[in-house]
Structure 1
């Protein structure tokens, strides 16, 4: 893939302009980007259903941009006003041959086509486009999920690369914003005391959590056919895992970085005893965020026959020399009592602790929080009073916070022609390859679908993290093989 700088996008065409994604995420992200004074010459065009008029679109843009003006620079406010005044809307059927191509031909290029549409419609729209209808330099921007399997992800790539080269395809992952990516890479590779510790020699286990207190929130149309494993783990959390485990790239250029992401994902798999290496559950009626939540199967639009999970855990192994033998746990769920969005790296205990120390001998942990990005290093130190007693402290810091919303970061990369934050074709396929055997096992009921009350921390028999037998000689009076950090169910 060439790293030559691409032409800057002149026109952003949002397909699905009347939809929830556009109104709730895309336009606010774009407005915040414009409010900083960037993208002064960008032209914004919307396209979508005939039920949504040009006046509706202009009002939607005006409302969102008006909010952004309250925090904009004077230059940014002027850019927002200009863009809102000159935006346009076209009613069209993107799946009808010729309609999308005709619209694109009227726009100033280079154009970025943002498919803010359901995946099946996006794919159909690309299938009916012809290469002659896609001018050179056009960028295709796709929302997850990228297919529904490794095979379908590959088929989607064939469809897209028939129209544009791979380097002009942006598969966006707003969860993997630029600040999050570079916070992780900077932490890992710019600190001498940390860089050599990220390996099987020193790490006992690594866990990545994305527990939400939100319930379904009227998303049954998508979520009931996806579930927690497809929605969060297959896409977002595997990407974070790759950043935490990849070898140091030579540069932060998009090819070097994405080559290393692909390499570590190719070495990743779920142990095949899926009844032990995976778990799934679904929420029942309860209370979350102070509101009554119905049983998941009673939510509007849910089909109980789908057997959709709202909480998923999988254990993975990475079969390379750096990480051989280390368990990795990825977990995500909805309607949970304790929101938790972080990666936890638990280090192995010291090889020898001198006799005489008392108190809690607990593993060193590094916690990396997501949204906001935070850092906490948990250490054992001599406690106050008794100098022989070990006590726990946490050294914490706030990491770099982006000046843009997640979709503002996505759009900044799209408009600049920088695919660093996008998911490359091989990576999209590898993420499906990792989870497909699990999905098949769940479809065959090899793993029970458990239940938990909304507002709880999951099924009562689940631990919040897998126990790991840490390799340390037992001290006097200690039972050999006892995990140092076994936690009771539901604790955070």
Structure 2
């Protein structure tokens, strides 16, 4: 771990992410005594504002987004007093000189956070370098996405890599900061119960679902032309998959963990036109109802017809010894019936049932492990048990769930915003929960194979009504293998 940073330069400070997540996270870290005493935030956006006006905006955001009665006016003032504002646009040397003036004498161990469109990453970094703000101790964090395909990802990585060493580049995927995603590692490698069974010999298939109830929600300019595959599968879904499927790392550090994740991503079976016809579904929501509210279709929200998918389902294979023959069913979409992120591990049935001759009620269901990441954090194991009776006609069995609610188990402990962990790790120089360059490029390589396959196959969009779990073809994708989506 490198020396701690006491100065954060935040680009995109007037944006939604900064207001909802970044400043509330800094507030919580301050309240826990985790920020340096001399901590300074240099906030930057395109518009001109005074320090006082920007601090007032930050305070309004804290009042709105700090929940559970944690907001305190005096604590908010202590944080906003640490914030100064400088307008800056990439290429404007005078504005970047002003930023340099704000941090004069604090150049060692600067942390830079880019909450901006990806097209601004490299130009902003160049302007920082020209202003003398990029040194061998400077760290830079960049919000996803890193490019829109493999070629553009390489271009961004090359441009940033020309100014920063790889160990100083922190690519952000906020899912990796979630407590329950961290718990996936603890569940797998901290419990002897699961690891011996975590392979093709005992697991029938895996399901990963990331459902959203929202539609475009003000993201029209970004989302159309990007779609669910690039927006969600390329980062969040593949990060979850890599943690579920990776080999045990030698130790819990950045290099060991990320080495094993990359191996999984490189083992994903590429797709072509023939494979995507059988193993993928593209969908787009139409008018419908979500949680009892009538909503418009995607094209209506957009204002014109579009070929952008708002739903994608995939059947993926990982070609290695651990997972040979085990399908991974992935799905994500907008305007789903519920907002949740969930993993299902379907174990194989017992090799031989001693209850098979006991008549009705003796059928065995294979064990199932369900890991809910959001909104409720829960782990559920479905097992077979005997119903209470005298068993005159033979034992009657029933599937019951063993539930572990992490919210209940750790009642009284505040559930942290994912960005609290990520910002603290950036300031302390710990890259474990950030995405390495080879991870990003391995993700894009697989995603590009799917997009090329869609073009080759002429894959069309399948409509689905808002409030449903995607098109009917997504149900067929899994049910023709004798399985069903868990809902």
TM over 0.5: yes
CA distance 1:312–1:101, shift in 2 (3 Å): farther
CA distance 1:40–1:283, shift in 2 (3 Å): same
Counterpart-to-counterpart distance in 1, 2:85 and 2:98: 14
CA distance 1:118–1:351, shift in 2 (3 Å): same
Counterpart-to-counterpart distance in 2, 1:105 and 1:424: 32
Q: CA deviation at 1:147?
A: 1.1
CA distance 1:6–1:95, shift in 2 (3 Å): same
Q: CA deviation at 1:270?
A: 4.2
1:34-61 deviations in Å (ceiling 9; x for gaps): 2222204221121111255434311122
Normalization by structure 1: what TM-score?
Answer: 0.88
Q: Aligned with 1:370: secondary structure?
A: strand
Q: CA deviation at 1:225?
A: 2.8
Q: Which residue of 2 aligns with 1:364?
A: 367
Q: Which residue of 1 aligns with 2:472?
A: 460
Q: Aligned with 1:130: secondary structure?
A: helix
1:418 pairs with 2:422: no
CA distance 1:394–1:253, shift in 2 (3 Å): same
Normalization by structure 2: what TM-score?
Answer: 0.89
The counterpart of 1:62, out of the listed 37, 46, 59, is 59
Say if 1:286 and 1:453, in contact at 8 Å, map to a contact too.
yes
Q: CA deviation at 1:290?
A: 3.1
Q: Aligned with 2:180: secondary structure?
A: helix
Say if 1:281 and 1:309, in contact at 8 Å, map to a contact too.
yes
Q: Aligned with 1:336: secondary structure?
A: coil
User: Larger deviation: 453-462 or 166-175?
Assistant: 453-462
Q: Aligned with 2:478: secondary structure?
A: coil
Q: How many residues align?
A: 467
Q: Which residue of 1 aligns with 2:46?
A: 49
User: Larger deviation: 249-258 or 331-340?
Assistant: 331-340
Please report the RMSD computed on the Cα atoms of aligned residues, expressed in angstroms. Answer: 2.4
1:112-166 deviations in Å (ceiling 9; x for gaps): 1111111112233234553754133111110000111222222212111211111
Q: Which residue of 2 aligns with 1:146?
A: 146
Q: CA deviation at 1:422?
A: 0.3
The counterpart of 2:397, out of the listed 387, 390, 394, is 390
Q: CA deviation at 1:236?
A: 0.7
**Residues 33-432 of structure 1 correspond to what in structure 2 (within 5 A)?**
33-41=29-37, 42-66=39-63, 68=66, 71-72=69-70, 80-97=76-93, 99-100=95-96, 103-104=99-100, 106-107=102-103, 108-109=106-107, 110-130=109-129, 132-177=132-177, 179-272=179-272, 273-300=275-302, 304-305=305-306, 307-354=307-354, 355-357=356-358, 358-359=360-361, 360-371=363-374, 372-385=376-389, 388-399=395-406, 403-432=415-444
User: Larger deviation: 284-293 or 206-215?
Assistant: 284-293
Counterpart-to-counterpart distance in 1, 2:40 and 2:128: 22
Counterpart-to-counterpart distance in 1, 2:271 and 2:326: 12
Q: Aligned with 1:299: secondary structure?
A: helix
Q: Aligned with 1:156: secondary structure?
A: helix
User: Larger deviation: 416-425 or 173-182?
Assistant: 173-182
Q: Which residue of 1 aligns with 2:4?
A: 8
**Structure 1: tracts of 5 or more residues without a match:** 470-482
Q: Which residue of 2 aligns with 1:477?
A: none
Counterpart-to-counterpart distance in 2, 1:448 and 1:15: 39
